[in-house]
Amino acid sequence: MYVLIVHEVASYPAWKRVFDGAYDIRKRAGEISYQLLHDDLDSNKIVHISQWSSLEKARNFFESPELSDIRKSAGVIAPEFHYLHQIEARSL
């Protein structure tokens, strides 16, 4: 199970400090791994791809009031969430 989040942040360094500070709550909530990417032309437009133990746990986490408050404190602007099931993966 994966979650893809695309959002803008006011400042990547400020956002990253909050993101790193939430490591324990993300892990307890069911996050297994993550990747962070940024847009080629805008380093404050972040793509966060994470693997979760279940999509139900991911939804509960990302839609919680606690995380909404954390996003606000991190300067997140208009997050877009996509809850995904993997169909196939390969290395070429």
Query: How does pLDDT run across 49-92, given as a tens digit for each residue?
Result: 999 999 999 999 999 998 888 888 889 998 999 999 999 999 99
Q: What does the chain come to in residues?
A: 92
The 3-state DSSP class for residue 10 equals coil
Given a cut of 90, whether residue 13 has pLDDT beyond it is yes
Domain positions in the chain: 2-84
What is the pLDDT at residue 28? 95
For the segment 22-42, the average pLDDT, to the nearest whole number, is: 95
Percent of the chain with pLDDT over 90: 85
Cβ atoms of residues 60 and 29 within 8 Å: yes
CATH of domain 2-84: 3.30.70.100
pTM: 0.87
- Tell me what the mean pLDDT of segment 42-49 comes to: 95
Q: Extract the tokens encoding 43.
A: 């380093």
CA 84, CA 59: separation in Å to the nearest integer? 11
